[in-house]
Structure 1
């Protein structure tokens, strides 16, 4: 129930039950937040700021509406939404559909095996560890009525762990000409997909049910399937630590590329220099082709003697990555371009600041116009800061 009607509804039910039945009708009461508009106003007919759920379903789908509300329903807080808020659930639903379609499109030539008996690599053990962790998070969230944390656990696992990392890493085996490798990979992907549908069924009921009914590795109905529970045998901290190190290395190089405005079409040589006591060296060596794909590298080597000269470094936990930018771009031309952009952005910022400093404008302009200028100010300040940092990085090569 909502906190605004605790007395009018909950209290009266308890008093009436005690009076007439001599018993307490319930022990747990879940107090929901109020759904308000983006300005924090309570939705009402007089304000005309209500959202018709049927319109949301027509535009985005029932699952998108339910998932968005669940994701945003932080315990003890009101929900501020408008129609665009439901794009969150819609994007997640599309991600689920697209990942499923990709897997089902690549079944040809594969034989379904017993998922529990096939050999598992470090990445396979990691993804089952992550699925198990998500299951545990959801168990705790549901037991404590923290439905938003349950929805976030589903989102984090499926979007980040499964799609962004595991499915991408599985593509090599999916496209393999070795039938045994492809069969092993397809078996595990379908098993993970089935488990994911069971896990997310309370949050996106219709999509998960439709997908589950199309999977060739299940023969029951999702509504009757056993909900996943935490399995201690799937805990694998060693695999989790190794993959976290790989993710850190990949994210570090990607961040450098973004700082240097290097598009994915520009391939750069990368070297990773592990510390003497780094436990992930052999795993990095095994996965260097995959890591090269993730970071858009022309080549990626694990080199104990990597030379930092001519490279931009990125520190990691137990290793250091080197991005050899000087071999890829014309540093002087890039610096000249950035300096020209900085001059342009500084002039634009001065114009905006002059406008915001004009007392007549500030006194007469509408709030929307002032907000627009403030947004421009922030945009130009960010561009100048990014350009200045970019110059400092490139300046080290001269």
Structure 2
């Protein structure tokens, strides 16, 4: 804004001629014999009135910005009053970089006011610049540029676009290296592989209309999460926060849909009940179809390719690019849905806790163990939710016998984990070498404490904060936070082991 205002308030004469090989040649001709200067839309030598004269056209071309300042309306047929010009001028938004605010943005506004009588756009979204990993502007002289076509050839067009959107924090430049585009490539592969798995399970199945399916807690939860993602994208797009929109799409599809909902659906997909299989496949594909519409602006090619492979009755349009974009819905956040979402969030916490214990004690995935979940007597709602979804908990946690109750005495001889509104007692002492695990934890705790002291010491250094780049400081802060989390978890496990063996 300051750059724009300063330029307009300090107007100077503009030299519009340039000595370049390419450009719009200046429409000025000189008669060297008489000294006459002719400015014309057409070649004056084609005018019979100039027959016999020797005219010389100015060899210079117009400044690039002198022609491009006409872009908002010249592309729509101006100076003719075309249908496109009437319909699309003025437009809504301009997306550009801060380095050409005065070169292009201010001049387009000036031209719009002069020739059309109104400004050409209302919003101006200033993106950051894509720089190299050292923070330098890409240039031919430095030889540090990245050819987008090379990235597209190596990782794909979707990976290129999604990665830039994901990293484009508003108001910040994007330091990037070619390998950073693996982020988008891995996401595209995740979308493809997840869809291939679902379509494989479609064979021999009958799609059930959504209106005929009675949703369960997991189904209401995924609809709630989808609605949350849609709302986040809506708000992010309105405020031009492309990174937040890309992250919402990523988190929903990878974490909510793939890691949890697809896994939860295996209860029905792997059952012997044909109707249950039809139900599971139908719900998965209904969510996938809407997720593809949500992701389309960010991964346009792969989403369209997959969309065309969906059963025709699932598709809301012939192609994603003309399909209605998802909108948030109030019915996906009613009281019943919120109750299921809250319960499922607790279920996730319980499953994550059990998985963490399995990982910490290196218990093989194939070894099951019994779990007793103690819920406070007054939390009848949570107890009933966990009981209703007991089979799902066993599937996701790899647990054996699962009991839900409020008997604190069941903790004896078991390792406990504490969550929001529950305690889980795990019968794993017979599966591990307690002494060896305590020794291993002690070594890991000592190593993590040392790493944390180093990270905190660096962050406490005024010299480090004064000299380091913001992204380096942010990375060190994230590292320290991760170490604190690891340390807290290991100490909790160590103390629990000590208590369980008393």
Interval of TM-score (by shorter of Structure 1 and Structure 2): 0.7 to 0.9
Change in Cα spacing, 1:395 to 1:73, as seen in structure 2 (3 Å) is same
Which residue does 2:189 correspond to in 1?
94
Take 1:178 and 1:71, find their aligned partners in 2: how far apart are those partners? Answer: 41
- Matches of 1:31 and 1:246 in 2, distance apart? 43
Superposed CA offset, 1:167-193 (max 9, x none): 100011112221211111111111111
Partner of residue 254 from structure 1, selected from 337, 346, 355? 355
* Structure 2 residue runs without a partner (length 5+): 1-95, 455-475
Aligned to 1:41: 136
Q: Kindly report the root-mean-square deviation, in angstroms, between the aligned alpha carbons of the 2 structures.
A: 2.8
Is the 8 Å Cα contact of residues 267 and 395 (structure 2) preserved in structure 1?
no
Q: In 2, Cα distance between the equivalents of 1:390 and 1:302?
A: 22
Kindly state the Cα deviation for residue 332 of structure 1 after the two structures are TM-superposed. Answer: 2.5
Q: What SS does the aligned partner of 1:301 have?
A: strand
CA positional deviation for 1:258 = 3.7
* Aligned equivalents of 1:228, 1:340: Cα separation in 2: 51
Residue of structure 1 equivalent to 2:371: 270
In the alignment, structure 1 residue 27 sits paired with structure 2 residue 122 = yes
Structure 2 partner of 1:357: none
Tell me what 1:296 maps to.
398
Q: Is 1:163 aligned to 2:266, yes or no?
A: no
The structure 2 residue matched to 1:331, chosen from 407, 416, 434, is 434
Change (3 A) 1:386 1:137: closer
2:135 is paired with a residue of what secondary structure? Answer: coil
Q: Does 1:233 align with 2:331?
A: yes
Question: What is the Cα deviation at residue 268 of structure 1?
Answer: 3.2
One of 218, 226, 230 as aligned partner of 2:314 = 218
- The match for 2:102 among 4, 7, 25 is 7
Question: Which digits, 9 at most, give the CA deviation of each residue in 1:324-343, with x for residues without a partner?
Answer: 33122121243455668889
Are the structure 2 counterparts of residues 101 and 276 from structure 1 closer, same or farther at C-alpha, using a change threshold of 3 Å? same
Please say if residues 361 and 437 of structure 2, whose CA atoms lie closer than 8 Å, have aligned partners that are also in contact.
no
Task: Encode CA deviations 1:295-344: one digit per residue, 9 max, x unaligned.
Answer: 2323322132151122222222221112233122121243455668889x
Query: Secondary structure of the residue that 2:374 maps to in structure 1?
Result: strand
| Cα 1:386/1:45, change in 2 over 3 Å | farther
- The alignment status of 1:145 with 2:247, answered yes or no, reads no
1:82 is matched with which residue? 177
Alignment of 1:124-143 (within 5 A): 124-143=219-238
Q: In structure 1, what is the Cα distance between the partners aligned to 2:106 and 2:342?
A: 51
Report the Cα distance in structure 2 between the residues aligned to 1:251 and 1:148, rounded to whole angstroms: 27
Alpha-carbon distance change, 339 to 275 in structure 1, aligned in 2, over 3 angstroms: closer
Higher Cα radius of gyration: 2
Give the conservation status (yes or no) of the 8 Å contact 1:212–1:218.
no
Q: 1:17, 1:23 within 8 Å by CA — same for their partners in 2?
A: yes
Per-residue deviation at 1:35? Answer: 0.7
SS in 2 for 1:29: strand
Kept in 2, the 8 Å contact 1:268–1:327? The answer is no
SS in 1 for 2:136: coil
SS at match of 2:230: helix
Structure 1's 25 and 241: CA in aligned 2 closer, same or farther, altered over 3 A?
same
1:186-244: CA deviations, max 9, x gaps?
Answer: 11111111111111111111111111101113353222221111221222211111111
Aligned partners of 2:216, 2:490: CA distance in 1, in Å?
42
Q: Tell me whether 25-34 or 14-23 shows the greater mean CA deviation.
A: 14-23
Q: Distance in 1 between matches of 2:403 and 2:283?
A: 29
CA distance in 1, matches of 2:489, 2:397: 21
- Count of residue pairs the alignment pairs up: 368
TM-superposed CA distance for 1:266, in Å, is 4.3
1:196 and 2:196 correspond: no
Alpha carbons of 1:178 and 1:41: their partners in 2 closer, same or farther (altered >3 Å)? Answer: same
Which residue is 2:416 aligned to?
313
Q: Which has the higher contact order (CA 8 A, sep 6+)?
A: 1
Structure 1: give runs of 5+ residues left out of the alignment: 353-373
Alignment partners' CA distance in 2, 1:39 and 1:311: 52
Equivalent position of 2:205 in the other structure? 110
* Deviates most, 63-72 or 124-133: 124-133
- CA deviations over 1:64-97 (Å, ceiling 9, x no partner): 1111111111111111211121111111111111
**Counterpart for residue 358 of structure 1:** none
Moved more, 278-287 or 264-273: 264-273
TM-score (normalizing by structure 1):
0.84
